Amino acid sequence: MVGKGQKMIRVTLNVNGRDYVVEVKPHWTLLHVLRDQLGLTGVKYGCGTGECGACTVLIDGKPMTSCLVLAASADGRKIVTIEGIADKGKLHPIQEAFIEAGAIQCGYCTPGMILTAKALLEKNPNPTEEEVRRAIDGNLCRCTGYVKIVKAILEAAKKMKA
Amino acid sequence: MPLFRPKEYFRVATVGEAVSLLKRFGGAAAILAGGTDLLVAKPPHVEYIVDISRLPLNYIKKGARGVRIGALATLNDIAASPELREEPYDVIARSTWDMGTPLTKNFATIGGNICNAAPSADMPPSLIALDAEARIIGPRGKRRVFLEDFFIGPKKSVLKRGELLAEIFVPRAPANTKAVFLKKGRTSEDIAQVNVAVRLTVDDGLCKAARIVLGAVAPTPIRAKAAERMLEGKGLKEISQIMVDVARKAAEETKPISDVRAPAEYRRSVAEVLTKRALLNLMERFGGA
């Protein structure tokens, strides 16, 4: 028993291909643990209520808002954050496409946006613009107006097929 | 202000384990399925979390008698399920469209949407319109309740201490049954100001059964039974002529409140419009308009 009588839970989180054993409190979110225990600050806190998508990570391949996932509940799951998608220092094609299209302004939404795009392109390598727009419906960007983000994702799809 | 600081977290491997913990802790326990409601509400009274997310209740199966949807089926599973493409079950998939975001729908569950018992929840109207039943497991074994009777007030259901919603059963619909779901919210992510599901079963050109189920206009989802009765036994042509009156009757049966999302008069008025549009949609699909 620790703190105000809360019982810690030992969990194993597989993050970006590596197992981390961490002790978590019952109310800690996955977002909190990724940022504050594991130092993976690419994942952002935005609204805390699952509406903005800044905290998006992939859990077993699916994009989810990590602010609404209990860390204890993520035990044993495969988690991918933005830190985990470059390949030995070489940016992922979606990351490259975002830079080339100028799809990044303040950058706060970018990690979540890219992970959502990655999950989309794995499921649907040849999406229409409409499908891209639907896929990123849960990732808010307050800078770009989305035009360049959508363009970047469509360009990334072409790159990944090539 | 008291914070959400549960003392202990349990991840259960069997339904029996869940039931015994829920019975032991009663109101101090919260069930965690997807968590998309629990972690927004963060209720400070919760002392124990019972995580049921690994129970084998994530399935959508169609059999001879109907469709069984496990309580842990996610909203995206439901949206994409091949078992829910055929009429009238397509209305269940349709009901997920305007809920939350694609990200939260990857883990928000149908069981959570039902058990939170929000009067504005989007899944119940379609399921009630298809005469679905809730299959419940508790300390005294299994029981079944029509989903229509599952809700007893805002945030209140018939679930008793120790009980868990395990499955939704949607009985096989008679031939020539079609249903539609419509929702009005401020944005597509937002909670419904009004939602409605309408189901018609037509045989030999006559309406054999009608369901009009409205959400967010009463303490629970409600059936507009007087309006349903106006439809039953009528021919499609006649229904087209009385649609406006049926919709007005359905709106009269609502008991909306005014809150931050919409005033009562607005809700009643929208209930009428949505019911009318739903009937119009069905008339077009039945070829009677």
CATH number at residue B214: 3.30.390.50
Of B131, B150, B171, which one is at a domain's C-terminal end?
Answer: B171
The CATH code of the domain at A9-84 is 3.10.20.30
pLDDT of residue B226: 98
**Residues B42 and B84 occupy one common structural domain:** no
- H or E element, residue B49: strand B48-51
**Residues B237 and B142 occupy one common structural domain:** no
CATH number at residue B99: 3.30.465.10
Q: Which residues of chain A neighbour B106 with C-beta distances below 8 Å?
A: 59, 62-64
What would the two tokens of residue B19 be?
């039931």
**Residues B15 and B117 occupy one common structural domain:** no
Range of the domain at B199: 177-286
Residue B13, in any domain of the structure:
yes
β-partners of residue B67 are B62, B170
pLDDT of residue B288: 66
Touching check for B4 and chain A: CB below 8 Å?
yes
pLDDT of residue B18: 98
Touching check for B66 and chain A: CB below 8 Å?
no
Which of A1, A24, A27, A134 would best serve as a mutation to test chain B binding (most B beta carbons within 10 A)? A27
Distance from CA of B244 to the nearest CA of A (A): 34
**Residues B184 and B258 occupy one common structural domain:** yes
Residue B3, in any domain of the structure:
no
> A94-139 pLDDT, tens per residue?
999 999 999 999 999 999 999 999 999 999 999 999 999 999 999 9
Residues 6+ apart with CB under 8 A from B283: B236, B239, B240, B243, B289
Of B171, B188, B210, which one is at a domain's C-terminal end?
Answer: B171
> B54-72 pLDDT, tens per residue?
999 999 999 999 999 999 9
pLDDT of residue A2: 46
Of B114, B145, B171, which one is at a domain's C-terminal end?
Answer: B171
Residue B159, in any domain of the structure:
yes
Q: Which residues of chain B neighbour A67 with C-beta distances below 8 Å?
A: 39
- Residues of chain A under the 70 pLDDT cut: 1-4
What is the Cα–Cα distance from A48 to A66, expressed in whole angstroms?
9
pLDDT of residue B289: 54
Domain ranges in chain A are 9-84, 93-161
The CATH architecture of the domain made up of A93-161 is: Orthogonal Bundle (1.10)
Chain A residues contacting B, CB < 8 Å?
4-7, 9, 25-27, 29, 49-51, 53, 56, 59, 62-65, 67-70, 72-73, 75, 116, 134-135, 137-139
**Residues B162 and B181 occupy one common structural domain:** no
What is the Cα–Cα distance from B42 to B38, expressed in whole angstroms?
6
**Residues B96 and B153 occupy one common structural domain:** yes
What is the Cα–Cα distance from B37 to B18, expressed in whole angstroms?
19
**Residues B72 and B160 occupy one common structural domain:** yes
Contact B136, B166 (CB under 8 A): yes
Phi/psi for B184 (5° steps) reads -120, 115
Q: Could you give the residue ranges of the DSSP H alpha helices within A29-136? A: 30-32, 93-101, 110-123, 129-135
**Residues B76 and B47 occupy one common structural domain:** no
- Residues of chain B under the 70 pLDDT cut: 288-289
**Residues B184 and B245 occupy one common structural domain:** yes
> B147-195 pLDDT, tens per residue?
999 999 999 999 999 999 999 999 999 999 999 999 999 887 789 999 9
Select the residue of A62, A65, A72 nearest B9 (Cβ to Cβ). Answer: A72
Residue B86, in any domain of the structure:
yes
The domain tally of chain B equals 3
Query: Is B101's CB within 8 Å of A138's CB?
Result: yes
Phi/psi for B120 (5° steps) reads -95, 5
DSSP letter at B44 equals T
Select the residue of B7, B32, B51 nearest A7 (Cβ to Cβ). Answer: B7
